[in-house]
Amino acid sequence: MLKEFKEFAMRGSVVDLAVGLIIGAAFNRIVSSLVDDVVMPPVGMMLGGVDFESLFWTLGPGEFATLAAAREAGAATINYGLFLAAILDFVIVAFLLFLIVRRINRMRSEPEADTPNMKLCPQCLTPVPLAASRCSACTSPLTAPTAT
């Protein structure tokens, strides 16, 4: 059983996943710092000097000037300012990942037909014979070649 686990753990996809998770965690810390330390202070200034960490509702009795004071007193709070920062954090990460995937997809080259009597399926880009009426890979209908 230990041997099987070692084989499983050393497969390329598992190692790649582990590396991806580590890089993702580091990337998350960078983006969180970007949101907390660079983006949120100017946004707070534009909204009249609002500190997003100080945006919270206290559940129950008591008034607290800061979230730290409420936590120290053991008060239950809804920290909507921190939630807004987390949403912005997520949007930035999602947008950056979109840009990366978009760039990778653009770098992929389109497959070319091997011979002059082949054409590419417009749906899946699989090479098919010119006379084919349906793609053999995705079964989408193909337009017949026009006689010139």
d(CA 85, CA 36): 7
Q: What is the pLDDT of residue 112?
A: 55
pTM: 0.53
* Cα–Cα distance list, 73 to 47, 53, 82, 118, 122 (Å): 29, 17, 19, 75, 65
Q: What is the pLDDT of residue 18?
A: 82
State the Cα angle at 63 between 88 and 84, rounded to 5°: 5
Residue 90: CB partners within 8 Å, gap ≥ 6? Answer: none
Q: What is the pLDDT of residue 102?
A: 85
Q: What is the pLDDT of residue 147?
A: 54
Residues of the chain with pLDDT under 70: 12, 109-115, 144-148
Q: What is the pLDDT of residue 34?
A: 85
Q: What is the pLDDT of residue 24?
A: 85
Q: What is the pLDDT of residue 111?
A: 56
